[in-house]
Amino acid sequence: MTETSAGPHLQPVPAIDRDDDAPAVPVPVDNPALPDPKVRIEKRKPVLASWLTNRRDFAATARHSVANAGYATLYHGVRLPVYAGRLALMSPRGACRFVATTNRWVWDREAAPLRSYAVQIEDIDEYMRLARLRAGRVRLRGLVTLVAAVFGVGFALYLYVLAPGFLYAFAAGGVLLLGLGGQQPDAPVVGPAVLKTEVQKLTGSIVLRGLDSIGNAKVTAAIKKGGDMNGLRFVSEIVRDGPGYRADLDLPYGVTPEDIMEARKPLASGLRRKTGCVWPSPDPEQHEGRLVLWVGDKPMNETSKPAWPLAKSGTVDLFRPVVFGNDQRMRDVAVTLMFASVVVGSIPRMGKTFLMRLFLLIAALDPRSEVHAFDFKGTGDFGALEPVCHRYRAGEEDDDIEYVLEALRELKEELRRRAKVIKSLPRSRCPESKVTPELAGDKGLGLHPIVVGFDECQVAFEHEEHGKEIEAICTDLVKRGPALGIVAMFGTQRPDAKSLPTGISANAVLRFCLKVMGQPANDMVLGTSMYKSGYRATMFSRSDRGICWMAGEGDDPRIVASAFVDAVAAEHIVARARVAREEYGNVTGHAIGQGPEKTGSGSDILADVLNVIGSEEKAVWCERIATRLAAAQPDTYGGWQGENVTAALKPWGIKPGQVWGQTDEGEGANRRGIKRADITAAITRRNADRAAA
Ligand SMILES: Nc1ncnc2c1ncn2[C@@H]1O[C@H](COP(=O)(O)OP(=O)(O)OP(=O)(O)O)[C@@H](O)[C@H]1O
């Protein structure tokens, strides 16, 4: 760089713009006449401390103080007899100290060193002055002591004669006071009920120390440089923000908040805090180099969460954001379930099922919605939701999977119906070709929200017979469902490609990742490259239950501690939801004892297939059977492909084989097909079994 002493900075023309042989001609870079952007950002400091203006913070502070006071009263209350005994034991020492102190005071012993000093330096005048002073003091103090003793004894005699009870009370008080005076300074009788460990205040130098310790060369160089620090600077003073401190700073040029987020542990070590207290994040309203460092007083999992706002009252509009948890600063975090598909992943026992159940409870609190809850773990975690579920199943046996399959076939049909309804609506009613709150509220259209939750979804996807069909329908739900008012949610404790098929993991909108063990699981749930960008659910500890990274709501992923709602609380919420649904007229399906209707794979599939295979045909391609079935019974088999036929016949032991036939164009071809004889044999077997039963 070439620089003139007085003028603007001059830089050589970049090589790309000039002839390589020509000498570098400096051109001015900084134009003194370049106008200022005239944008000044002002930030007013709050008039009152935030805990005084925020009702929740005020209540929390008041609750904390009252709770501490109550605890101290109880703690000392039960110890009063012990205190009294120990003070009584110490009272002789207290009495000796009292006599010794009074004696020193009466004889003005505290001025003795001054008098000795005057003698040492042979200052006669000073000594005489001090001696006179002492004589006056001794007279006065002796008199006070004598009067106090006489009055004290007289008062004691008076009480002894007239009210001996009071005398004993005064005597006891006196003994306790003497006991207090007789305590050893390092072993007081009455200790504190609440031990307070001071959390260090966050200061600029501590923040710089923390940043220096993360091992980022640019940050370290900037801090070493001091002064301008290559752009590293605090942009406002460190303030209290909720239960912690907030520091806003610009990082050195080229360093991003993600670089700091990646190094939370060393940063926490440098700040001398637990990792759960340290939360660096970008500021979405500022440039890419702005870091907001929030340092909590306590780790997130030790901070008590506010109660879920919907736990006691309220209903939900699924089209609007609904609070489901809190961030590190215990501010509410909301989620909008409508128009989304949801994936929840974690290792076992981290709170995945609780989170899924929370979302289903949110859905249940919207009286218009239809709730489907499928729990393949089979422990009945969604059992509390039964009174509001349109479809519900817990278990992983074949009949459970078949129930879910039937329910999914219904949903597939529902998707098709909804698409047709939306297509038929005028643009003025349906401008974006998707369900709107107004359309969802129109009972005649049947476009109400449908929320379907699958816990441990890998069980269904891996089912030998029906896995493929379930996966195909679920993928369709994830892709087309959101626009048509259907929200599908998948929870798994094994987030890999088998448990979460790509069609689902790639198309999910909302992603919640509780603790996972490695990068693949992290990125499978949160999305590609999230781990590299610093959004790592591996950093959660085993005690961070219910805490997750949430991606898909807002620009950047954020950390949320989901509200804790156990099974008992869930039952109360469901009872409320049921009442709201009864009023709205939306208690259907499982809630009134009805299950899904049997479709293709039920008892008629064999007869239906036989009906579409002519008696002269030995075998027919699967795709042809599907087309004929769809034409004969569009309501039941509409949209079927060859593989649906294969899957539906598999439970009857019928496998497709290679069948020679002619295409519609008259060309010969070898394709997968079903033999007519296999169908008739299966029907015979079935009828025999039924007769035997
Ligand atoms: N939001 C929460 N806050 C605090 N603790 C929670 C929260 N959610 C769940 N927990 C605790 O975590 C435990 C495990 O929760 P949950 O059963 O949902 O885990 P999971 O991940 O579904 O486990 P698994 O994979 O074994 O089914 C619960 O017993 C509960 O005590």
Measure Cα distances from 350 to 68, 311, 329, 524 in Å. 31, 21, 21, 17
Q: Residue ranges for the binding site?
A: 346-353
Q: Are 327 and 560 in contact (CB under 8 A)?
A: yes
Which atom of ligand 1 is the closest one to the Cα of 358? 1
- Grade residue 18 by pLDDT with cuts at 50, 70 and 90: very low
| Distance from residue 565's CA to the centre of ligand 1 (Å) | 10
Give the CA angle between residues 218, 222, 227 to the nearest 5°. 165
- Grade residue 17 by pLDDT with cuts at 50, 70 and 90: very low
Return the DSSP state at 666: S
Which tokens go with 465? 């017979």
Question: What ipTM is given for this predicted complex?
Answer: 0.98
Residue of the nearest CA to atom 25 in ligand 1?
A: 348
Task: Tell me which of 402-406, 614-618, 626-630 is least confident.
Answer: 614-618
Name the residue ranges covered by the structural domains of the chain: 59-181, 204-302, 322-592, 605-692
Which of 324, 354, 541, when mutated, tests ligand 1's pocket best, judged by the most ligand atoms within 8 Å of its CB? 354
pLDDT in tens, 58-111: 887 888 889 989 999 999 999 999 999 999 999 999 999 999 999 999 999 989
Span 322-592 CATH architecture: 3-Layer(aba) Sandwich (3.40)
Residue of the nearest CA to atom 7 in ligand 1?
A: 546
Which atom of ligand 1 is the closest one to the Cα of 493? 25
> What pLDDT, on the 0 to 100 scale, is given for residue 15?
43
Which atom of ligand 1 is the closest one to the Cα of 561? 1
List, chain by chain if needed, residues with CB within 6 Å of any ligand 1 atom: 346, 348-354, 377, 493, 545-546, 562, 564
Closest CA to 560 of 493, 521, 511: 511
CA distance 42 to 36: 16
CA distance 416 to 476: 11
Which of 17-31, 38-52, 623-637 is most confident? Answer: 623-637
Strands (E), 176-272: 233-234, 239-240, 244-250
> What pLDDT, on the 0 to 100 scale, is given for residue 41?
63
| Distance from residue 520's CA to the centre of ligand 1 (Å) | 22
> What pLDDT, on the 0 to 100 scale, is given for residue 634?
81
Residue with tokens 């009067």, as numbered in its chain: 147
| Distance from residue 491's CA to the centre of ligand 1 (Å) | 12
CA distance 628 to 615: 15
φ/ψ (deg, to 5) at 373: -125, 120
Q: Side-chain half-sphere of 578: how many Cα atoms within 13 Å?
A: 16
Give the CA angle between residues 355, 285, 276 to the nearest 5°. 45
Which atom of ligand 1 is the closest one to the Cα of 356? 18
Is pLDDT above 70 for 691? no
| Distance from residue 383's CA to the centre of ligand 1 (Å) | 15
Which of 343, 350, 490, 517, when mutated, tests ligand 1's pocket best, judged by the most ligand atoms within 8 Å of its CB? 350
% of the chain surpassing 70 pLDDT: 91
> What pLDDT, on the 0 to 100 scale, is given for residue 554?
83
Which tokens go with 565? 């709602």
> What pLDDT, on the 0 to 100 scale, is given for residue 1?
38
| Distance from residue 527's CA to the centre of ligand 1 (Å) | 23
The pLDDT mean for the chain works out to: 87
Alpha helices for 10-123 (secondary structure H) = 50-53, 55-106, 112-120
By three-state DSSP, how is residue 296 classified? strand
φ/ψ (deg, to 5) at 609: -65, -45
- Length, in residues, of the chain: 693
Class of 204-302 in CATH = alpha beta
Q: Are 114 and 121 in contact (CB under 8 A)?
A: no
What would you measure as the largest C-alpha separation in the chain, in angstroms?
146
Q: Are 610 and 684 in contact (CB under 8 A)?
A: no
| Distance from residue 564's CA to the centre of ligand 1 (Å) | 9
Residue of the nearest CA to atom 15 in ligand 1?
A: 351
Q: Quickly count: other Cβ atoms within 10 Å of residue 590's Cβ.
A: 23
Which atom of ligand 1 is the closest one to the Cα of 379? 27
pLDDT in tens, 118-141: 999 999 999 999 999 999 999 999
